[in-house]
Amino acid sequence: MPSQKGISQEEVEVYEEFTNEPIAARLTGFNFNILYPRSTFKRKLIDETGIGGGAFLLWQVSPLSPHFLGFDIEFDHLFRDIGFNNGFEERVNSGYVSLTANWRVFPNFRLWILEPYLEAFIGPNFIFTATSIFDENTGQNVDFEFDQTNFGFEYGIGFGITIPMVNSWFFDFQFSLSSTSIAQYFVLPESGIGGFEQVNSATDHNKIKVGVIYVF
């Protein structure tokens, strides 16, 4: 696991010489995300994808253990749509935030330099949509704005690999599947003509994460 690769043999020997104990590791990471809505969420967003980023911090349960526990925070911008209705330009901007508790385990095998891992996560999330109207005739925003924010619950699993780079840095790639509770949000009709549509559905999604891990 990265905890063993990220610490030099010299550091281990010096530490064990004085303590006679192995070292527990911590992992911190930063990643770029692509979010792919599923099911009703996908249909209502008309195949939109989200783009964002995240960061996490994990602690090794005990020295030499393959198990890590910690937390992860993610932000994804879902979409920005513009529709038209009787001379008015309607705008909807939406984003998604999650904060989860994570458990990651590194099985005791490698594929060449690739080290796979499994992850499970659970925690709160919220989706927000901001709406506004622009009057094309006057060239000004209409004094109407409505922000919809819904808190919910998210859980899922992830599958990933790490690849050593330099010193204590590792490349990290993960594919995750998330299921969520029902949330309320706004979208524009597929035609782009008409008013905002209020939707109540789960915000289930898949996510690809590409980033780096630092071991310390």
Give the pLDDT confidence of 37-63 residue by residue, as tens digits. Answer: 999 999 888 778 999 999 999 999 999
pLDDT of residue 70: 98
Domain boundaries, the chain: 2-215
Cα distances from 84 to residues 94, 95, 140, in angstroms, run 18, 22, 15
Q: Could you give the percent of the chain with pLDDT greater than 90?
A: 58
In degrees and rounded to multiples of 5, residue 213 shows phi and psi of -120, 140
Cα distances from 1 to residues 6, 98, 114, 169, 212, in angstroms, run 9, 26, 10, 13, 14
Give the pLDDT confidence of 129-163 residue by residue, as tens digits. Answer: 888 887 777 766 776 666 788 999 999 999 999 99
pTM: 0.83
2-215 homologous superfamily: outer membrane protein from Thermus thermophilus HB27. (2.40.160.70)
